[in-house]
Structure 1
Amino acid sequence: MTVPSTVNEGLGAFLAATAPKDLARVLTALADASIEVASRIRRGPLGGALHADVGPDHDGVAQKALDVFADQAFIGALKGSGVRGVVSEEREDFVALDSDGTFLVAIDPLDGSSNIEANITIGTIFSVLDAPPGTLEAAHFLQRGTRQRAAGIFVYGPHIDFAFTIGHGVSVATLDPEDGVYRITTRRVEMPQASSVFSINAANARHWKAPVRSYIEDLVEGEEGPRGRNFNMRWVGSMIAEVYRTLLSGGVYLYPEDSREGYENGRLRLLYEASPVALLIEQSGGAAIDGYRPILTIEPESIHVRSPLIFGSKDKVERVARYYGDEGEARLPPLFGKRGLMRR
């Protein structure tokens, strides 16, 4: 399939030329739902208390009103689109949809919901998989990331972007506020390799394992350290914003496992956060690992299983992997563990 050469072409025409018809139908349904969600977000507090707690979700974290609205909007839009079932972060069990559907969707309907009230970029992450034959069951969703048919993110920021892949590169569509239509604005994203930006929550430094502490130590030491150059840290606290910035600008993002209770195996969900993000990153020329393995090679053990996630420019991720594999556990991390220069 060839990629259309006209930027600002409508999303529908682009998908008609680049995606199988049945897969284009699913992506179109997701895009339609995102417009509904974006409209609610755009109204802010005029649309109600979107950040209000409305009850605990399946793992004890309070759901926000916008979480529930987005979940219902996406699942509602996918009915009749050829999707047999959906796994959502907002629901403990899968939801059965079209009995004759040929696809499965795993989705985080609203990533970054803790930032709703602060008007910080939030978004949606999704993965599309083939539906195996037979009566739908949870085990059907437990497919490694290499088997994804499509993946994407909707970014609800100053403008609305839809970054997606169907397996041959990453394209970006932007929502035209004049007519409510997504238009292709980037045909193929190529992640820059030359970047001095790293993203990590430094407040958790005391909990990190040696490989991560050693890697970040070397970055923080800048020109005086072994890397011989200065780096900049960015941390939005909304992963969707970090993903999109990294896609467009390069760098490296780390959300590793650590020693805190509940974080030993990472915190992000493999099926509908780490895997679709990893596919986007790899399709743009980057890499994504859990520290030791490529994210896309990991077999999910359950629909809500968690994973560490490290992604970004390929050379930077490969360097992090060397800390894990060759030197991380053997090195003493003096900046965080001994000299205490990051503490007051």
Structure 2
Amino acid sequence: MSKITTLNEFILERQKDFPFATGELTNLLNDIAVASKIVNRDVNRAGLVDILGAKGETNVQGEEQQKLDVIADDAFIAAFKSGEEVCGIASEENDDFVAFDDEASKNGKYVVLFDPLDGSSNIDVNVSIGTIFSIYRRVSEPGTKAVKEDFLQKGADQIAAGYVLFGSSTMLVYTTGKGVNGFTLDPSIGEFCLSHKDIKSPETGRIYSINEGNLDRCDPGLKEYAQYCREDDSSTGRPYSGRYIGSLVADFHRNLLKGGIYVYPTTNNCPEGRLRLLYECNPLAFIAEQAGGIATDGHQRIMDIEPKELHERCGYYVGSTQMVEKAMSLLKHKEAKITV
């Protein structure tokens, strides 16, 4: 029987690759793992207690908050505040960033931006959902409270990013810029165990993920790309399979492993896009690139975008290199720059 490597053991082994971290990043990743286990527990018993459904309020995005959105948000904030490695957080569920004001946290080296429960509107129908997180080294002076500039950093400045998928099994996938690794939660021991080492996304695939109901509102080249995906061509393995769960983490995870493209474009009625640059697009772009894929907003590399607002949105094309490049070649607006 092969030795099981837990997430904590794996992080400690890799710590030598990050001499600047001196243990704080290790502790922070462990804090994320602990909070993920708490959220996993609540997600798994969602149908048994009164935590399903809408809370009756809307978040800063104008979206109806689900009860589990708030529960997950609180769980992660509590973990980050108690861990003392983080001086502040920004969350999709909060209007503004939160600067921790206790003395220990003021000395924290990092800020975390996260979507506590992406796809939470699918909870009631038992569809896979997830948490997405992004870690940056603060730019403000240690010993002071976090400021907005700590959070408005390019994706290229991330030092770690990842997601947790709550599905048929619970997985934590993350990168620190040295490849991508996945860990599956073993409920019998309560530990995340290494299950997907050094994930590499195929250069091309046979899955395209897009809400085709919106194609008439998109760049006409995207309609051409969808038609291309549906055409018969044995040399390229077409037609491709259209797979769209409507839960970003689940769609991204499947395409990461199997090869594919995920598209959430700008539309006529939503010209800025719908996905959030800081909480969703940047962290998943970091993972995609580390696994050999690419991510663009249709104009430029996602991780080169200079954010101006905490809740900034953008169009999103992410996945296997050849598939994203083909989609970009058909868009009618100015040529996309997607060089990594």
Note whether the superposition's TM-score is higher than 0.5: yes
Letter in 2 for 1:233: G
* Structure 1 residue matching 2:233: 3-state secondary structure: helix
Contact kept, 8 Å, 1:288 with 1:309, in 2: the verdict is: yes
Contact kept, 8 Å, 1:218 with 1:227, in 2: the verdict is: no
Structure 1 residue aligned with 2:320: 313
Give, in angstroms, the shift of residue 22 of structure 1: 1.1
Structure 2 residue aligned with 1:204: 214
State the distance in 1 between where 2:237 and 2:157 align: 40
State the distance in 1 between where 2:198 and 2:161 align: 15
Give, in angstroms, the shift of residue 56 of structure 1: 1.3
Give, in angstroms, the shift of residue 184 of structure 1: 1.0
* Structure 2 residue matching 1:44: 3-state secondary structure: coil
Letter in 1 for 2:239: N
Deviations 1:216-243 (A, max 9, x none): 122223339x978311100101011011
- The yes-or-no answer on 1:92 pairing with 2:99 is no
Letter in 1 for 2:29: L
* Structure 2 residue matching 1:14: 3-state secondary structure: helix
Residue 175 of structure 2: which of 138, 161, 165 is its match?
165
Contact kept, 8 Å, 2:89 with 2:99, in 1: the verdict is: yes
- The yes-or-no answer on 1:129 pairing with 2:136 is yes
Structure 1 gap segments, 5+ residues each = 1-5, 331-344
Letter in 1 for 2:182: V
Contact kept, 8 Å, 1:7 with 1:185, in 2: the verdict is: no
Contact kept, 8 Å, 1:199 with 1:254, in 2: the verdict is: yes
State the distance in 1 between where 2:288 and 2:53 align: 30
TM norm structure 1 = 0.89
State the distance in 2 between where 1:215 and 1:142 align: 33
Deviations 1:93-124 (A, max 9, x none): 11112111100100000000110000000000
Structure 2 gap segments, 5+ residues each = 16-20, 335-340
* Structure 1 residue matching 2:257: 3-state secondary structure: helix
Give, in angstroms, the shift of residue 196 of structure 1: 1.2
TM norm structure 2 = 0.90
* Structure 2 residue matching 1:84: 3-state secondary structure: strand
Structure 2 residue aligned with 1:109: 116
Deviations 1:127-149 (A, max 9, x none): 00001123421122111111101
Give, in angstroms, the shift of residue 201 of structure 1: 0.1
Contact kept, 8 Å, 2:140 with 2:147, in 1: the verdict is: no
State the distance in 2 between where 1:80 and 1:101 align: 11
Contact kept, 8 Å, 1:288 with 1:294, in 2: the verdict is: yes
State the distance in 2 between where 1:23 and 1:190 align: 24
Structure 2 residue aligned with 1:250: 259
Letter in 2 for 1:192: P
Moved >6 Å (runs of 4+): none
Identity %: 37
Paired positions, count: 319
Letter in 2 for 1:101: G
Deviations 1:180-229 (A, max 9, x none): 111111221011224211000001111011221221122223339x9783
Give, in angstroms, the shift of residue 305 of structure 1: 0.3
